[in-house]
């Protein structure tokens, strides 16, 4: 496609609709707890569904159970089993506590009659208090000065990458992603250092999601997109690109804190660091910042990392 030209009959522009489709829930009759919803995992070229689908869907289910204005401020999750792709997951929500300042929910995801995901989610009414955030200490190139995944992968091939995985990395995830110091798709670009940053932006403006306010949808967007790259600093320091033949990874457990709300339709900087790697597991941390350096959320995740 030439510059300035529209898509051909066989081409489609990348879209953030993959995210809003993931967090669109259908109410269901509860079988185990107080409320229930179903949601469908989105297409991806792997044997199992993307873990961020489960985190974001559970966040949406928990948020839809809180009706007094409290906002989600933390989630703590475990991934128990892999989820089928393009299939319905049933989320059962237990109303553990509703207090004046805080509320707590348990969410369990079921598929094929078995639990595959569980989390605790906490909500806060908010109150006056001091404000502080850790500052960014290193300068990062602007997103406009970096190549996106599509441009980077256009003329490249190798490893276990197929046309399906190239297409997914390039535009199938709903968000444009631009790496500093460089991506880890086919090789580890740049030094084998235990840290990186990723600029993130939806490919087009986020659509409304039924049952969620725009602020709640934006929190779910952070929960959705965080899992794509959180283990990459561990892969980077171990010199394990995604396309290394035989590499297998899986999310094990996940924690996320939402410090303040902010729109996610503009570029966000996701600053990440490897904390530990041993015994087939790696731990990574990440912080989301707006372009004006407002710290929105913090992520910690442990994953299985199994080289060939």
Q: What stretches of 171-228 adopt beta strand conformation (E)?
A: 175-180, 195-202
End-to-end CA distance of the chain: 37
Question: In this predicted structure, what is the pLDDT of residue 11?
Answer: 47
Question: In this predicted structure, what is the pLDDT of residue 191?
Answer: 86
Q: How is residue 145 annotated by DSSP? A: G
Q: How is residue 13 annotated by DSSP? A: -
pLDDT, one tens digit for every residue, the chain (308 residues): 233 333 433 346 899 999 999 999 999 999 999 999 999 999 999 999 999 999 999 999 999 999 999 999 999 999 999 999 999 999 999 999 999 999 999 999 999 999 999 999 999 999 988 899 988 878 899 999 999 999 999 999 999 999 999 999 999 999 999 999 999 999 999 889 999 999 999 999 999 999 999 999 999 999 999 999 999 999 999 999 999 999 999 999 999 999 999 889 999 999 999 999 999 999 999 999 999 999 999 999 999 999 98
Question: In this predicted structure, what is the pLDDT of residue 1?
Answer: 28
Q: What stretches of 125-188 adopt beta strand conformation (E)?
A: 175-180
Helix ranges (DSSP H) in the chain: 17-22, 51-64, 149-153, 163-167, 214-225, 232-237
Q: Model pTM? A: 0.94
Q: Strand, helix or coil at 115? A: strand
Question: In this predicted structure, what is the pLDDT of residue 308?
Answer: 84
Q: How is residue 171 annotated by DSSP? A: I
User: How far apart (Å, rounded) are the C-alpha atoms in residues 297 and 277?
Assistant: 23
HEC letters along 217-285:
HHHHHHHHHHHHCCCHHHHHHCCCCCCCCCCEEEEEEEEEEECCCCCCCCCEEEEEEEEEEECCEEEEE
Cα angle 162-243-143, degrees, rounded to a multiple of 5: 95
């Amino acid at each position: 496609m030439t510059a300035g030209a529209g898509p051909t009959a066989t081409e489609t522009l990348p879209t953030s609709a993959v995210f809003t489709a993931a967090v669109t829930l259908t109410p269901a009759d509860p079988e185990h707890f107080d409320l229930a919803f179903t949601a469908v995992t989105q297409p991806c070229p792997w044997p199992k569904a993307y873990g961020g689908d489960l985190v974001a869907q559970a966040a949406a289910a928990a948020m839809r159970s809180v009706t007094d204005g409290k906002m989600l401020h933390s989630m703590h999750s475990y991934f128990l089993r892999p989820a089928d792709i393009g299939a319905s997951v049933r989320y059962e929500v237990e109303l553990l506590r509703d207090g004046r300042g805080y509320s707590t929910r348990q969410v369990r995801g079921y598929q094929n009659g078995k639990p595959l995901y569980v989390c605790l989610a906490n909500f806060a009414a908010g109150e006056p208090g001091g404000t502080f955030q850790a500052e960014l200490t290193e300068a990062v190139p602007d997103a406009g000065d970096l190549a996106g995944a599509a441009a980077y992968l256009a003329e490249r091939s190798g490893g276990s990458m197929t046309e399906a995985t190239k297409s997914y990395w390039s535009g199938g995830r709903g968000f444009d992603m631009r790496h500093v110091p460089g991506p880890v798709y086919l090789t580890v670009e740049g030094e084998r250092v235990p840290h990186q940053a990723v600029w993130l932006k939806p490919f087009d403006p986020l659509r409304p999601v039924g049952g969620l306010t725009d602020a709640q949808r934006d929190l779910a967007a952070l929960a959705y997109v965080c899992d794509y790259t959180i283990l990459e600093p561990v892969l980077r320091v171990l010199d394990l690109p995604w396309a290394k033949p035989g590499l297998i990874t899986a999310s094990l457990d996940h924690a996320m804190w939402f410090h303040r709300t902010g729109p996610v339709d503009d570029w966000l900087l996701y600053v990440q660091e490897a904390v530990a790697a041993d015994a087939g597991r790696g731990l990574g941390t990440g912080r989301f910042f707006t372009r004006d350096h407002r710290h929105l959320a913090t992520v910690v995740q442990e994953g299985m990392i199994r080289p060939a």
